[in-house]
Structure 1
């Protein structure tokens, strides 16, 4: 039986995943059969996971990267679920809530349902950033967690993280930053988003997005080990006697691939990729605007533009892998695999469709 070839990235313009770095691909294959879920048995990959956390903490400007708490998750969804779970477990109230901007990832809705936590969704401003007045009005003594987004999935926006930290801590809550996509771009910007910019308690950052690690390789970081201690359960039949992760058995491929990618690319390789992506996003936004298309000005390299449904459907029929925002705009994410030539071909197809 002939098996289908893997997905080509040539016309993928909407994904926040990308082709892995060659060193990451090789490292992932070497560690396929290892299980970081039992670090006492699989010591080599456990050591690599410590290195992965240190590298992620360095990117996120943790005050002491070598002592940072965290682990390599299956992706941003698991990390966000775990952040909500940790905050719930550390909060005194019996009925807790989490306050999330409407730009928050859908994983927070999953977390709320799974964990029986009330999700309070607050509006964003005209720039698609969390409204601090709305967040302040939503928190109360039962609030366990306030969420800020650093690189939103629809518009690439960065919430006012320091202000959200103040609101959360004044209410006796914790602050979680979802930088799943933005985390590998933001170190090369002036945005305030990291442990070094504000008293962030937990943070999601995914190597398998702009970090160019193989899927799956997400990341959960915490300022203090107490955040992971709140997640620990006994594992009496393993050599490792407790476990703070959600999935249990995990492939070492993601861990090893993440380390290999970060060691190969941090910081200069990521800086170059971020600058190239930013230039590509600016070019696409300007080119679409010149053609009379309404474009949301990009902050990070993500372009949203108003296209009629007929044009969007025609682009899909032409083989372009594009998606829409909730409001219906075309959404293009300028990942490392997205070249200027690909964007020129995309615009040429759009011009042809409009003729």
Structure 2
């Protein structure tokens, strides 16, 4: 095979990163195990229980229900599915800010529910008045985001949770990317801060687990019971996950990544990433770019098409938001030296354009 895995030395826009070495070793050991049949594969099932328990520590939930999913898309779909199946309305809907991940559009399409997207405020966070106004008797689920994909914003989670509870709707928080940064900030975002029913948090992002390793957590086992189907031809006779056969590598890698890094290494990573984001934002501002001040370690800024193309031509993996800003995600592999080299590329592009 002549294909080559992506190197990360110029990857700036991805929310994936190099897995922790201990996680990579664990993943290789459990390549053939299937957590989808825990009675047949009890050792990897034990690792999954351990991973879910630690994710409960991260997200402020004692004795969580949940599992290691394929990623945030699956976890978000499962939250919508659980809300749909437990809804009192015969025509359940989902209300969310426009900043939600595109996986909710997939979930609405696959599950046959209407997704009502409402505007965000001037700082790219959920507008609580707009959310409240969009909710009606058919609303089965209200969604908020703790670390948006485009701008790294944290919605006012307790306030949105109160709105959902008053309406009798379930409440889901997507913390797929932000979940491993937020414990080391002063944001109120997790099960202990608000009346969340379900939450998404992905070990294969900032958690440095190998792909695939998302996380779906629920406040109570009844949520998983509502998702379960019978599996009479397996040793395990029911299954609440969306996929059947699942990755033993993802589960084992997630457990190892959490064991090795929670909480100290994750805190160190957050502090380093936050400092890098501030550094980049300041350097870009000094150069005259319009910068969206970072809340979590993600920097969005204005960038001309010529400079964007020059950066891409120089090998930088860079993307734009839906409204056109370039975005840099300060993942664990992103170093200060990388960011300074990226700034050098932009400086050269500007000189070339003016000369």
TM-score, L = length of structure 2: 0.98
Summarize the alignment of residues 1-355 of structure 1 with structure 2, pairs less than 5 Å apart.
2-62=1-61, 64=62, 67-355=63-351
- Structure 1 distance, partners of 2:160, 2:247, is 35
Structure 2 stretches lacking a partner, 5+ long = none
**What SS class does the counterpart of residue 227 from structure 2 fall into?**
coil
Length-normalised TM-score, structure 1: 0.98
Number of matched residues? 351
Structure 1 Cα separation of the partners of residues 316 and 64 of structure 2: 41
CA RMSD of the aligned region, Å? 0.6
Cα deviation 1:110-148 (Å, max 9, x = unaligned): 000000101000100011000000010011111110000
- 2: CA distance, partners of 1:140 / 1:166: 15
Deviation digits for residues 126-185 of structure 1 (CA, Å, limit 9, x no counterpart): 110000000100111111100000000000000011011111111110000000000000
Runs of 4+ displaced beyond 2 Å: none
Query: How far apart, CA to CA, are the structure 2 residues paired with 1:332 and 1:345?
Result: 13
1:6 deviates by 1.0
Deviations 1:247-293 (A, max 9, x none): 11001101100111111111110000000000000000000000000
Partner secondary structure for residue 214 of structure 2: coil
Shift of 1:199: 1.0
Q: Secondary structure at the match of 2:192?
A: coil
Q: How far 1:210 sits from its partner (Å)?
A: 0.2
Tell me how far 1:218 sits from its aligned partner.
0.1
Q: Return 5+ residue gaps in structure 1 as ranges.
A: none
Query: How many Å separate the matches in 1 of 2:138 and 2:11?
Result: 43
Secondary structure of 1:47 counterpart: helix
SS of corresponding position for 1:120: strand
Partner of 1:28: helix, strand, or coil? helix
